[in-house]
Amino acid sequence: MITLSGIIGSGKSSLTGILAKELGTKAFFEPVEDNPVLPLFYKGNEIAAQKRAAGDEEATNPYAYLLQTYFLNRRFKMIKEAMQDDNNILDRSIYEDELFMKMNTDLGNATNVEYQIYKSLLNNMMEELPYAAKKKSPDLMITIKVSYETMIQRINKRGREYELIQNDSSLISYYHRLLGYYDEWMENYQISPLLVIDGDRYDFVGNVNDRVHVLELVEKKLTSLGKLSTDQASQMLIRHQQILN
């Protein structure tokens, strides 16, 4: 089982689809368009920032805790389903979920009480995961690391109104801060083997050569972990050469 991680606009869903096709397995995508809380959360961030600017230092985003528990519930359900069988890929993981709640607490969008309740809920869920699924953790975590410029370019391209900095200037500092939290998360992640992909350097969606290179990085890592046989890896290399030629 492979899980993907990375900031908004890093290309998690795109790479999940590419890997699923390459490895002949099922992709699990977290629904975004039907999320009723996400637009409220972005609006709540803006309202909280305005209140704090006006002197209300204790103003919080009323939707921060709601959003994170919504995501946590959905991701727990998804990872349980994916872990029932071998060879599945998820475009989001429950393992990076806490960094969003921590950041929202640090920003003042959520209270420390809400954060402690959230952490308690998350810890209880993770203790139950080995009993609810075949695996205790992913075989490989892939993180796509991108710069602020690349992230904004991809956010603009997909055009979700509530994610655009043109519509909400407070998102500029929010996104910059989130990049820092992801850097810290990558440094401390220990739940499974981790592979970091340079999303600035490799355009695995639009460039065939870059896509093949990223696939080979993943397959080399899976082979070293004993999750792909050398014969399987060799067959994939042959197929890659045929694609490039």
The Cβ of residue 36 has, within 10 Å, a number of other Cβ atoms equal to: 8
SS3 37: coil
List, in order, residues 6 or more apart from 28 with CB less than 8 Å away: 16, 78, 81, 82, 88, 89, 90, 91
**Residues 171/9/135/217 CA torsion (nearest 10 deg):** -140
Burial label for 133, CB within 10 Å (0-12, 13-18, 19+), is middle
Burial label for 232, CB within 10 Å (0-12, 13-18, 19+), is middle
Residue with tokens 């308690």: 120
Q: At 118, list the tokens.
A: 């959230």
Positions at the binding site: 6-14, 30, 42, 68, 92, 97, 154-158, 163
Residue 213 CB-half CA count within 13 A: 13
134 DSSP 8-state letter: S
User: Which ranges in 2-108 belong to alpha helices (H)?
Assistant: 12-23, 38-53, 64-82, 97-107
Q: How far apart are CA 33 and CA 206, in angstroms?
A: 23
**Catalytic one among 91, 198, 203, 231?**
91
Positions at the binding site for substrate: 30, 42, 68, 92, 97, 163
Positions at the binding site for ATP: 6-14, 154-158
Asked if 91 is an active-site residue, the reply is yes
What residues are labeled active site? 91
